[in-house]
Amino acid sequence: MTERLRITEIELDSHVTVVTVSGELDLDTCPLLQAALARALPRVAIDLGALTSADSYGLTVLLATHRHALEVGGLALVCATGDLMRAVFRQRGLDRVLELRPTLEEAVAELRAL
């Protein structure tokens, strides 16, 4: 893992995994997130509360994860986004595509209820 991006994966139970992302998500670091999210599917809560930036490559990883989760009958919920990332999602229309939840707790409860 690079110093610019930190990813933690916590399997809460056999059905739900939380992937927490902090730092900078860009061309160089997005393969790390892509691998973590692939391991976490089909039900994953993606906590972006400490993400400081994301370029188009990083955003593409989130979109691809969302689509892949749906294809395999799962769900990828993006949660706890800070003001900066919410603005980026809004600017690019991703707030209308990604499944966004205000808190990690809400995302986990929804994933467990599936």
The domain that holds 90 is classified in CATH as: 3.30.750.24
pLDDT at 37: 98
- How far apart CA 43 and CA 10 sit, in angstroms, is 12
Token code pair at residue 55? 């370029």
Contacting residues for 113 by C-beta, under 8 A, at least 6 apart: none
Q: How many domains does the chain have?
A: 1
Rounded Cα distance, 16 and 3, in Å: 27
pLDDT in tens, 53-87: 999 999 999 999 999 999 999 999 999 998 888 99
Does position 1 have pLDDT exceeding 60, yes or no? no
Which pTM was predicted?
Answer: 0.94
The whole-number average pLDDT for the span 25-38 is 96
Mean pLDDT for the stretch of residues 43-51: 96
Q: What is the pLDDT of residue 90?
A: 94
Q: For position 14, what pLDDT does the model report?
A: 85
Expressed as residue numbers, the domain containing 65 is: 5-113
